[in-house]
């Protein structure tokens, strides 16, 4: 069996750490070739020591010096590469077999796209690659023979429930045969039953206290607002070539049914499992085989009930905004994501209230829509529209401060 070289982009985040855990369980199958981190350089050093990574990528010269200062006397240090271009080059490195794209935000888009253009197996945990550049990204996968394995638990679940065909990873241009509807499940986050009038005063720590999953702060806030689920709807549109009206979101507080596929004959296939990201990561690494992930047995006998309900769009206005953006086109999706990143950062640093996140996103979408931006033709167009939308969102945040 040929050993696969894996590049983990965003290795110090929760997805990155779970990926390294799965890889460590299969030393005969996988080797860590490259790691990247933005700020947790001490963690990057310890990961590089343990995995024997040959390459690490850091954002700037200060981070490179920090890495070198923290490196122990032995073993020999890996090659340290610097900057966004180095990140993209590493993802496309000829030595790399598979790329875990787990950098949060549009910062991860160029490297993920570079991996697709290099024909790699792309384990996609970065939502923005499809939200901001879905058409460009899927075209790159098709044209360069890349494999695309979704790692988000919901999309991975859908992928597993589709008809068994190894070509599923080759960017379909039409819905899978016989599929009528995709059912994306959502936990509802920490505020599913909180009184609406109380949302105005929630704190960042409360918004980050997810009831089922352990995630970074930004994605935890996205889960609380359900903007995260809106981004997943956009992703599902691109990944599975499904129209917006054929994608439904259901609140499922237990987070045990990760998503479902409904077929034309009325059958619904669901993928169940513990809320542990090592399951979809192991599926993506091993596809089409199934490999041990380290996740324990799922005790079905202990389940008393599985609950499902329609999302309340008054409670979760960001979800409605995401559907609107998807129907409006790629430029609106870019604006949606950019405005959300700006607004969430302002909320986490105490400069706006939780309930203002959706207002800033909605106002930004209106302003950007008035400009009648053309659909992006390349990555530069995507980044330019993203930059413009961020500036608009920042201005809107200042008006509310």
In the 3-class helix/strand/coil scheme, how is 92-132 assigned residue by residue? Answer: CCCCCCEEEECCCCHHHHHHHHHHHHCCCEEEECCCHHHHC
pLDDT tens digit sequence for 35-48: 999 999 999 999 99
Identify the burial level of 71 via C-beta atoms within 10 angstroms of its C-beta, where 0-12 means exposed, 13-18 middle and 19 or more buried. Answer: middle
pLDDT tens digit sequence for 102-149: 998 888 999 999 999 999 999 999 888 899 999 999 999 999 999 999
Backbone angles phi, psi at 217, to 5 degrees: -65, -40
Contacts of 245 (CB under 8 A, 6+ apart): none
Average pLDDT estimate for 383-391: 96
d(CA 216, CA 14) in angstroms, rounded, equals 7
Query: Is the CB of residue 67 less than 8 Å from the CB of residue 40?
Result: no
Q: How many CB atoms lie within 10 A of CB 351?
A: 14
Average pLDDT estimate for 272-289: 95
Peptide bond into 72 cis (omega under 30): no
Helix (H) or strand (E) holding 360: helix 356-370
The token duo for 346 is 């302002």
Average pLDDT estimate for 196-225: 89
Average pLDDT estimate for 146-163: 96
Across the chain, what does the average pLDDT equal? 94
Q: What is the pLDDT of residue 134?
A: 95
Query: Is the CB of residue 343 less than 8 Å from the CB of residue 360?
Result: yes
Query: Is the CB of residue 23 less than 8 Å from the CB of residue 48?
Result: no
d(CA 50, CA 266) in angstroms, rounded, equals 49
Q: What is the pLDDT of residue 303?
A: 82
Q: What is the pTM assigned to this prediction?
A: 0.93
Quick check: 273 pLDDT over 70?
yes
The alpha helices in 241-329, defined as continuous H runs, are 278-286, 317-328
Quick check: 401 pLDDT over 90?
no
Closest CA to 386 of 346, 343, 331: 331
Quick check: 166 pLDDT over 70?
no
Query: Is the CB of residue 364 less than 8 Å from the CB of residue 392?
Result: yes
CATH code of domain 4-150: 3.40.50.720
The token duo for 132 is 């901001």
The token duo for 195 is 């009184």
Quick check: 327 pLDDT over 80?
yes
Q: Please report which confidence band the pLDDT of residue 278 belongs to, taking 50, 70 and 90 as the band edges.
A: very high
d(CA 353, CA 340) in angstroms, rounded, equals 13
pLDDT tens digit sequence for 68-108: 999 999 899 999 999 999 999 999 999 999 999 999 888 89
Q: How many residues does the chain have?
A: 401
Average pLDDT estimate for 186-214: 91
Query: Is the CB of residue 126 less than 8 Å from the CB of residue 99?
Result: no
Q: What is the pLDDT of residue 33?
A: 98
Average pLDDT estimate for 310-318: 96
């Amino acid at each position: 069996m040929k050993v696969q070289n894996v590049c983990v982009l965003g290795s110090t985040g929760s997805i990155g750490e779970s990926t390294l855990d799965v890889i460590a369980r299969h030393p005969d199958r996988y080797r860590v070739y490259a790691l990247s981190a933005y700020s947790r350089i001490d963690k990057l050093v310890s990961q590089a020591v343990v995995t024997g990574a040959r390459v690490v990528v850091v954002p700037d010269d200060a981070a490179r010096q920090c890495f070198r200062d923290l490196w122990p006397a032995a073993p020999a240090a890996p090659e340290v590469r610097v900057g966004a271009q180095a990140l993209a080059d590493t993802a496309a490195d000829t030595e790399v077999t598979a790329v875990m794209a787990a950098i949060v935000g549009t910062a991860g888009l160029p490297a993920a796209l570079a991996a697709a253009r290099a024909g790699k197996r792309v384990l996609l945990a970065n939502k923005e690659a499809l939200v901001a550049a879905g058409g460009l990204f899927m075209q790159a996968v098709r044209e360069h023979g890349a494999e695309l394995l979704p790692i988000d638990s919901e999309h991975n679940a859908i992928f597993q429930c589709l008809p068994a065909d190894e070509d599923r990873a080759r960017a379909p241009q039409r819905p899978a045969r016989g599929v009528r509807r995709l059912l994306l499940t959502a936990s509802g986050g920490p505020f599913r039953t909180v009184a609406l009038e109380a949302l105005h005063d929630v704190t960042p720590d409360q918004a980050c206290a997810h009831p089922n999953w352990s995630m970074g702060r930004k994605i935890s806030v996205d889960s609380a607002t359900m903007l995260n689920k809106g981004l997943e709807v956009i992703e599902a549109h691109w990944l599975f070539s499904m129209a917006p009206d054929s994608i439904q979101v259901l609140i499922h507080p237990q987070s045990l049914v990760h998503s479902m596929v409904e077929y034309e004959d009325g059958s619904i296939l669901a993928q169940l499992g513990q809320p542990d990201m090592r399951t979809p990561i192991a599926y993506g690494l091993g596809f089409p085989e199934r490999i041990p992930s380290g996740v324990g047995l799922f005790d079905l006998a202990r389940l008393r009930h599985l609950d499902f309900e329609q999302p309340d769009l008054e409670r979760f206005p960001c979800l409605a905004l995401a559907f609107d953006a998807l129907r409006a086109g790629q430029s609106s999706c870019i604006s949606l994501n950019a405005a959300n990143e700006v607004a969430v950062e302002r909320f986490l640093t105490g400069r706006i209230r939780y309930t203002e996140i959706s207002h800033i996103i909605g106002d930004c979408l209106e302003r950007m829509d008035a400009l009648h931006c053309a659909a992006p033709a390349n990555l530069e167009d995507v980044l330019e529209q993203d930059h413009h939308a961020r500036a608009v969102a920042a201005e809107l945040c200042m008006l509310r401060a």
